[in-house]
Amino acid sequence: MSTEFDQALGEIRTYAKNQFEGALPTASRTPTPTPPPTAPAADRETAKQKQAEEAKAQGTLASAFAQLGDVDRTEQKAKGYVDVVALMHTTATTAAQVCLSIGALMSTAPSGSVTDDVVNARIHALSGVLTALAQLSPASLWADPPAQSGDSSK
């Protein structure tokens, strides 16, 4: 499934990966030591610049790593949503088939016949299936979803 959402996540992942790879050599090198105050001003300035580059690269690494984690969490949530929708669809389809079976059983045996007990037992069993299906998707799942952090609409 390739949607604009998936494409956006892919672009974020690529950007974060590129940022990570670009910053890694600088961030992983041996830290530049601070020269003593008696060192020439040019050496102190060079060291200061290298230390600033290293700090910036370490920040970039942390940011890129956080973005990659965010993309993975977002993809897992989206996959979970798709899985829940598929389960709900399957549950609804199965429930509809069970109801059709109950209806067919109700119309097969004439009232008062010997088969009434058999039909009633089957209907009872199928109603148990419907109860089990209803427990897979209780009414509380259909309520408004909880507000997400930063969601000002609630």
SS3 per-residue string spanning 20-80: HHHHHHHHHCCCCCCCCCCCCHHHHHHHHHHHHHHHHHHHHHHHHHHHHHHHHHHHHHHHH
pLDDT recorded at residue 64: 94
Rounded to 5°, the CA angle 99-104-109 comes to 135
pLDDT recorded at residue 133: 80
Helix axes 4-28, 41-108, angle to 10 degrees: 150
- pTM beyond 0.75, yes or no: no
Q: Residue 54 — very low, low, confident or very high, per pLDDT cuts 50/70/90?
A: very high
Q: What is the mean pLDDT of residues 111-129?
A: 78
Ramachandran assignment for 116, one of left (phi > 0), alpha (psi -120 to 50 degrees), beta (any other): alpha
Amino acid identity for residue 25 in this structure: P
Of residues 100 and 14, more confidence is placed in: 14
